[in-house]
Every structure is written in structure tokens, then in C-alpha cells.
Amino acid sequence: MTIRSAGGVVGTRDVPASVRALGSLSRVDYGDHFALSADAEATPEQWARAMFGNVPSAVETLLWRGFLGLRLDRRRSPDTVAGWRVGGRGEDWIRLEAASWFLTGNLLVRAAGGEVSLATLLRHDRPLGRVVWPPLSAVHRLLVPGVLRDAAAKVSTPRSGDREPRP
């Protein structure tokens, strides 16, 4: 498997229109898009689960529930990825959705043409969203390339006895 560096863009106007169109938000106040060249064969859901797991980790719980107040499901379910509700899917994409009282978010994972990408789209539903997200977004942008690279390593390394990519 070939894993190259993850490249990204930040800014709602810089997120490809084809990616923004997959979102469910009526308005996007923050957007970013990171992509990684990876020739592993996996579905978008397998990529999403490799990135975030089936239930949120302790760190994800602290960030997503603690700082952002996102209402996430704590149970493992085919309808959620790391607590985020699966809000839509297609052949080469999956949309994860979550909301708090002050912001609503989409995580969009696409897997096509030898590339996997993760886009984050947020809508500030209350002024607090404009205060809380900017410092957290700096951390988010530092972490996403590693999340993509780690997911690529998981997807490309089958578990003992498996012939399919790891979910």
C-alpha cells in the first residue's frame, strides 16, 4: 500500500463543491477537507470506522461531548460510527452527523480513485460556536492528517485470518 502525506484545505470556499454537496447543513460556517493517497480497498464506512472506531474513545468523548457538547450515542450500532449518527451514504461516501445546543456538524468520508478524504463541515447554531470552535479547530487540523494515516495502516493490515480490510 502506498501512503503519501495527507494534504488539506481549510475554509468553506476551499472545500470542493462535490464534497460540500454531500453535507446536510443548511449553512456551513466552517469547513475543511483533508485527503490521503492510499490504494487500500475499503468501503467509506470501513474507512470511517478505522478513523474513529465503533464507539468514541476517551479522548474523542472529552473533545466531542465535553468541549463541543455533541450528543453522541454511547452504544455500538450499525447506525453510528463513534457515536455519530450515519446520516447518509453513497457508493463512495458516508456522512456522519452530530449536534449540540450551539453547533451542528458533519464528518464526510470519501473513498474513491486511490484516495481517502475526510471533510468537516460545521454550522454555528449559537454565538458560542464561534467562540469555542476556533481554538479547537487548530488542534483538529493538526490531528486529522495522522487520523488519515493511522486509518490507512489499519485498513491495509488485515487481522489474523482475515482477507478483508479491517473495519
Model confidence pLDDT, tens digit, residues 76-125 = 999 999 999 999 999 999 999 999 999 999 999 999 888 999 999 999 99
Q: Answer yes or no: is 46 within a domain.
A: yes
* Domain total in the chain: 1
CA–CA separation, 117 vs 144, rounded Å?
10
b or e along 72-90 (b: 16 or more beta carbons within 10 Å of the residue's beta carbon)?
bbeeeeeebbbbbbbbebe
Q: How confident is the model at residue 2 (pLDDT cuts 50, 70, 90)?
A: very low
Domain that holds residue 39: 7-51+88-156
Q: Answer yes or no: is 95 within a domain.
A: yes
Q: Answer yes or no: is 13 within a domain.
A: yes
Q: Answer yes or no: is 59 within a domain.
A: no
Q: Answer yes or no: is 140 within a domain.
A: yes
What residues have CB less than 8 Å from 131, skipping those under 6 apart?
A: none
Q: Answer yes or no: is 83 within a domain.
A: no
Phi and psi at 105, nearest 5°, equal -135, 155
Average pLDDT of the residues in 125-143:
93
Q: Answer yes or no: is 113 within a domain.
A: yes
Q: How confident is the model at residue 3 (pLDDT cuts 50, 70, 90)?
A: very low
Q: Answer yes or no: is 107 within a domain.
A: yes
Task: Determine contact, residues 45/94, Cβ cutoff 8 Å.
Answer: yes
H helix or E strand, kind and range, residue 7: strand 7-10
